[in-house]
């Protein structure tokens, strides 16, 4: 990226049948097919906005530019409108804050009082109470306890038939929601999990899709879920004792995690409405489950359908389980996250099943590869294209389009004895991709702050199921339960949004081992 190159030509325009209509309509209604048309850098018009799609490392690296040139805030304020259902006046409070997210304000913005530095204060909450090692582990420990309870409640030592994806959407989601937001939210709203998954189907449509008057259904689902999170917000404020011992607890039943509690307190102290606070809760539900449930499900599907891989994973995962002083079988978290094969499978599934368009607003005229990109334009980089790049990911016999559990392993020769030439080959996890080839959680200035908890949650859920159950694959099914003649593929209606869930379910038989 440069500010003063010699050339001043515009990027090529993506061909369309009806100017300013065809590309926009396909983008808003069929992102999967739209992304298949993208290569290099191409432009199109999206509702009076000039948008440039970039694909390939030489173009993608430009989105790593500093925030005063490549600004992620436009996408976040769009989410505030479409997902949070935040009022226009309160969105303006963020839009008018140009002091940045760092501790030191942007040059020339030093006069803005700290309490009005909304981007910085919001970012600080995430950094301290979500991304930090301490609170990531607190959330992970709570999730592990709650998910273990769900596995004990839902299973027996007799063979039982289960639809895997549906099981994960109910049980893993429940444990995750309680971990983050407490138990009261589900007690107050018994239908919340089902409503959330209805929202999950339309979340992408809400952000980039048609307006309410042309497509009212997604907005109706959003409003229904928002009313549920509003009920939780009101109830928590009415019943939580801010002068009691739980004010600094890692978890409580009303707000849930320390992160959730501190966010609610900050919104109120900063003068934002409870509508905004409950909208933030609703959006966090999507951030909490929109990637983790599909990715954990895909990991299990890939493992279960391959008996050899399943045997290897179980042998590896077994190393991370120990018998504690009470005689109970427990997972050693540190040991679990050091296992190479499970890490490789995690990265491979992220690579194949996350589809997210990293979005930046151009704040100054720039030039990319000689093309002029004007101030106010939108740059988007689809992870789906980068993650399937054959040059970056392909290996002989293992194309980028196919799952390969060992893709992110490197062999290391280890001597049996210091004075011996005899040794053994042991696999090590090896993540060699550049940031421009692998960005399931975004990149640069605005990476997903919950990515550390997400990794722990996913790997713990998969490990608990693999270790606790004997599992047999039965068949693939459609959503209605009828038998499918093919295996699961990415559900492309989620393209460009987040994790792409399987478009088929896996019917399995399982029974408890312990």
Reported as a single tens digit per residue, the pLDDT across 178-199 is 999 999 999 999 999 999 999 9
Residue 421 confidence (pLDDT) above 50: no
125, with CB counted inside 10 A (0-12, 13-18, 19+), is middle
Walk across the sheet containing 41-46 and list its strands: 41-46, 49-54, 378-382, 357-362, 70-71
Residue 423 confidence (pLDDT) above 60: no
Select the more confidently predicted residue: 427 or 236.
236
Supply angle C-alpha 50, 52, 57, rounded to 5: 165
The 10s digit of each residue's pLDDT in 230-259 is 999 999 999 999 999 999 999 999 999 999
Residue 416 confidence (pLDDT) above 70: no
CB 83 within 8 A of CB 279: yes
Range 150-164 average pLDDT: 90
Range 212-223 average pLDDT: 95
Range 103-108 average pLDDT: 91
> 106-115, 245-254, 453-462: lowest mean pLDDT where?
106-115
pLDDT number for residue 404:
98
CA distances for 264 relative to 94, 253, 284, angstroms: 17, 14, 12
Written in H, E and C, the secondary structure of 260-323 is HHHHHHHHHHCCCCHHHHHHHHHHHHHHHHCCHHHHHHHHHHHHHCCHHHHHHHHHHHHCCEEE
pTM: 0.94
The 10s digit of each residue's pLDDT in 281-306 is 999 999 999 999 999 999 999 999 99
The 10s digit of each residue's pLDDT in 32-72 is 999 999 999 999 999 889 999 999 888 888 888 888 899 99
What residues are designated binding site? 448
Residue 208 confidence (pLDDT) above 90: no
Residue 419 confidence (pLDDT) above 80: no
Range 305-317 average pLDDT: 98
pLDDT number for residue 5:
46
Model confidence band, residue 124 (pLDDT cutoffs 50, 70, 90): very high
How far is Cα 376 from Cα 20, in angstroms, rounded to an integer?
A: 18
Written in H, E and C, the secondary structure of 78-115 is HHHHHCCCCCHHHHHHHHCCCCCCCCCCCCCCCCCCHH
> 162-171, 183-192, 320-329: lowest mean pLDDT where?
320-329
How far is Cα 296 from Cα 165, in angstroms, rounded to an integer?
A: 9
Residue 433 confidence (pLDDT) above 80: no
The 10s digit of each residue's pLDDT in 341-395 is 999 999 999 999 999 999 999 999 999 989 999 999 999 999 999 999 999 999 9
Residues above pLDDT 90, as percent of the chain: 84
What ranges in 340-407 are assigned the alpha helix state H?
A: 340-353, 383-387, 390-393
Residue 415 confidence (pLDDT) above 50: no
CB 276 within 8 A of CB 90: yes
Residue 209 confidence (pLDDT) above 90: no
Range 485-489 average pLDDT: 98
CA neighbor of 158 nearest in space, from 475, 513, 462, 461: 513
pLDDT number for residue 425:
66
Model confidence band, residue 414 (pLDDT cutoffs 50, 70, 90): low
Model confidence band, residue 216 (pLDDT cutoffs 50, 70, 90): very high
What would the two tokens of residue 5 be?
């190159």
Instruction: Give me the domains of the chain, ranges plus CATH numbers.
Output: 22-512 (1.10.630.10)
- Computed over every residue of the chain, the mean pLDDT equals 93
What residues are designated binding site for heme? 448
């Amino acid at each position: 990226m440069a500010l003063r190159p010699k050339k001043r030509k515009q990027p090529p325009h993506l061909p369309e049948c009806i100017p300013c209509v065809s590309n926009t309509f396909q983008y808003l209604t069929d992102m999967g097919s739209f992304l298949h048309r993208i290569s290099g850098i191409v432009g199109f018009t999206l509702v009076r906005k000039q948008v440039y799609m970039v694909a390939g490392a030489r173009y993608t690296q430009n989105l790593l530019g500093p925030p005063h040139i490549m600004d992620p805030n436009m996408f976040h304020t769009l989410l505030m409108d479409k997902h949070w259902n935040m009022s226009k006046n309160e969105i303006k409070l963020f839009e008018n804050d140009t002091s940045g997210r760092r501790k030191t304000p942007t040059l020339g913005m030093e006069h803005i009082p700290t309490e009005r530095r909304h981007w910085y204060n919001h970012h600080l909450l995430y950094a301290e109470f979500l991304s930090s090692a301490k609170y990531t582990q607190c959330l992970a420990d709570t999730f592990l306890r709650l998910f273990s309870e769900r596995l004990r409640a839902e299973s027996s030592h007799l063979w039982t038939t289960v639809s895997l994806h549906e099981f994960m959407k109910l049980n893993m989601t429940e444990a995750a929601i309680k971990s983050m937001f407490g138990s009261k939210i589900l007690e107050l709203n018994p239908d919340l999990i089902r409503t959330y998954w209805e929202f999950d189907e339309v979340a992408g449509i809400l952000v980039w899709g048609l307006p309410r008057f042309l497509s009212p259904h997604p907005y109706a689902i959003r409003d229904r879920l928002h009313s549920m999170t509003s009920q939780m917000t009101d109830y928590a404020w009415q019943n939580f004792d801010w002068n009691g011992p739980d004010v600094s607890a890692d978890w409580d039943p009303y707000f849930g995690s320390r992160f959730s509690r501190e966010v609610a307190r900050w919104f109120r102290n900063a003068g934002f409405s409870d509508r905004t606070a409950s909208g933030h809760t609703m959006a966090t539900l999507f951030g909490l489950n929109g990637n983790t449930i599909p990715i954990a499900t895909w990991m299990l599907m890939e493992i279960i359908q391959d008996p050899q891989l399943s045997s290897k994973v179980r042998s590896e995962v077994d190393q991370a389980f120990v018998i504690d002083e009470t005689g109970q079988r427990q997972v050693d978290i540190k040991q679990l996250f050091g296992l190479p094969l499970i890490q490789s499978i995690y990265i491979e599934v992220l690579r194949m099943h996350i589809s997210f368009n990293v979005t930046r607003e151009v704040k100054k005229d720039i030039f990319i590869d000689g093309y002029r990109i004007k101030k106010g334009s939108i740059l988007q980089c689809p992870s789906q294209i980068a993650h399937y790049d054959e040059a970056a990911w392909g290996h002989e016999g293992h194309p980028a389009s196919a799952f390969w559990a060992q893709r992110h392993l490197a062999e290391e020769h280890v001597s049996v004895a210091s004075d011996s030439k005899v040794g053994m080959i042991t696999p090590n996890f090896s993540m060699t991709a550049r940031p421009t080839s692998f960005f399931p959680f975004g990149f640069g200035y605005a990476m997903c702050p919950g990515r550390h908890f997400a990794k722990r949650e996913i790997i713990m859920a998969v490990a608990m199921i693999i270790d606790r159950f004997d599992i047999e694959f039965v068949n693939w099914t459609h959503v209605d339960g009828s038998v499918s003649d093919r295996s699961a593929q990415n559900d492309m209606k989620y393209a460009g949004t987040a994790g792409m869930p399987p478009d088929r379910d896996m019917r399995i038989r399982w029974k408890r081992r312990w």
